[in-house]
Amino acid sequence: IDLSVTWLGQTMPGCLYNASGVWCREEGELEALHASAAAAVITKSATLTPRDGNPEPRYCRTPLGSINSMGLPNRGFDYYLDYARRYRYGSGKPLFLSLSGLSLDDNCAMLRRLAEEGLPAVPEVNLSCPNVPGKPQLGYDFAATAEALEAFDAAYSGLYGVKLPPYFDPAHFAAMAEILNRHPRLAFVTCINSIGNGLVVDIDSEAVVIKPKDGLGGLGGDYVLPTALANVREFFRLLPGKDVVGCGGVKSGREAFMHILAGARAVQVGTCLYHEGPGAFSRIAGELAMLMRVKGYRSLDAFRGRLRTL
Ligand SMILES: CC(C)(C)CCc1c(C(=O)O)[nH]c(=O)[nH]c1=O
């Protein structure tokens, strides 16, 4: 059974890696991912300067997944750039740098700095990054997204990707695809980021479960799987020549199989990794391989994007 994935001009040994934000803020965490069965590594979204993030509790596990309002706690761009200088690219496991600048200028400054280094690390720009206060997140502001991508192309001459928030309306899928398809070096989109601004209530305490934003936070886990699969399948159809990375609700070989069937080139794991740790990758890969064996598929190419309609 071959779980390898060839994309971005390289072949990685498997199809699973971490979702940005989970088990990837500190170098020790990144090294643990690299040493695990994860087929790639992506860093916590970086801002230009380090951030402590929001007051705790800012993450909460629930029976169906997770809610978080971390507030971009990260060691700052220079820390992850330094890690990227020392990273063992020869392992065949790509390194992705997630960027989430607090302004378009910050995102472009980080992209320019990365371009100057000429490292194999690939940027994934987080379009859930904050926009002008009072306006929706960048990924929900189509004009701002169009402007940002033009600026990214000017700041960075290599291949890059974007992390997309979930969309819920065909007109939004179409509007985003029209913008994204203008950018040939935009090689991949990662669908999806957490479903924004959910609210989890604890009926014993009669309170919310996280402190920031009066309890509002991004949802992950089982809550988001159908939305994640829809975004993967729609963008797989709408973005010819680009790759879609699936993210959302993956906790076993079954959901990984669903994402690839929907069109995912590779699959990220977030909430499940947060709780299980990097051992999740070998478990999920084994389950996916077993599923493929039972179904008679010898590689991911044999079923990627072959989700049947009725
Ligand atoms: C939500 C932002 C803080 C603007 C970006 C960072 C981020 C966070 C976070 O750091 O709170 N959590 C997520 O689930 N997704 C994200 O993209």
207 found inside a domain: no
Tell me if 139 CB under 6 Å of ligand 1: no
Residue 287 lies in a domain: yes
Summarize pLDDT for 19-30 with one digit per residue, the tens. 999 999 999 999
Is this prediction's ipTM beyond 0.90? yes
Q: What is the pLDDT of residue 54?
A: 98
124: phi then psi, degrees, rounded to nearest 5: -120, 105
Residue 66 domain-assigned (yes or no): no
32 falls in which pLDDT band (50, 70, 90)?
very high
Chain segment 184-220, per-residue pLDDT in tens: 999 999 999 999 999 999 999 999 999 999 999 999 9
pTM, two decimals, is: 0.99
Our answer to whether residue 129 is catalytic in this structure is yes
Helical pair 225-238 and 253-261, crossing angle rounded to 10 deg = 30
70 CA → ligand 1 middle, Å: 6
**Of ligand 1's atoms, which has the minimum distance to the CA of residue 69?**
11
Q: What is the pLDDT of residue 187?
A: 99
Number of domains the chain contains: 1
Residue 65 domain flag: no
Give a yes or no: residue 275 inside a domain.
Answer: yes
User: Is 208 inside a domain boundary?
Assistant: no
The separation between CA 251 and the C-alpha centre of its own chain, rounded to angstroms, equals 15
CB 182 within 8 A of CB 237: no
β partners of residue 11: 6
Range of the domain at 112: 5-53+74-199+221-302
Q: Are strands 195-199 and 207-208 parallel, antiparallel or unpaired?
A: unpaired
Q: How far is CA 138 from the centre of its chain?
A: 16
What digits encode the pLDDT tens for the residues 227-277? 999 999 999 999 999 999 999 999 999 999 999 999 999 999 999 999 999
Give the residue, by CA position, lying nearest to ligand 1 atom 10.
Answer: 72
Q: What is the CATH number of the domain that holds 145?
A: 3.20.20.70
Q: Is residue 297 part of a domain?
A: yes
Inform me whether the pLDDT recorded for 61 exceeds 90: yes
308 domain residue, yes or no: no
For residue 148, the CA-to-ligand 1 centroid distance in Å is: 18
**Is residue 282 over pLDDT 90?**
yes
Q: 282 CA to middle of ligand 1, Å?
A: 27
Whether the CB of 270 sits within 6 Å of ligand 1: no
Instruction: Out of 15, 129, 191, 272, pick the active-site residue.
Output: 129
